Amino acid sequence: MERARLFAQTFKMYIKIHNSYRKVIALCDSNMIGKTFEEEKLQLKITESFFKGEEVSKEQVIKILQKEARNDSTFNIVGEESISLAVKIGLIKKENIGKISNVPYALVF
């Protein structure tokens, strides 16, 4: 139990805000950066240029996601922890989660 609590406190995610006509929020688990996942004709590429922004805690992510959801931003979310957090705060529903090579992702428009 102590190990799980320590992990939850120290686990980080990357969040990057891209400014366009609407903000695009890229969120991923920090251990996903630079990886590519493929399944049949699908590919999920977690590039530094798109996803690697600020490394933040879960508490910070919650505040940012809630604020940007109110601002009608779009979201690109990848990774178990990031997806789980987005579900927890009601940003996405479980049925809207896709998977490529068992890596969960979601797009919110």
What domains can you pick out in the chain, each with its CATH number?
2-108 (3.30.1860.10)
Residue 4: predicted pLDDT = 47
Residue 10: predicted pLDDT = 59
Give the Cα separation of 51 and 18 in Å (integer): 10
Q: What average pLDDT does the structure give for the chain? A: 91
For residue 8, pLDDT over 90 is answered with no
For residue 94, pLDDT over 50 is answered with yes
- Please give the structure tokens belonging to residue 72: 């009608």
pTM: 0.88
Residue 1: predicted pLDDT = 45
Taking a C-beta distance cutoff of 8 angstroms, is the pair 51, 14 a contact? yes
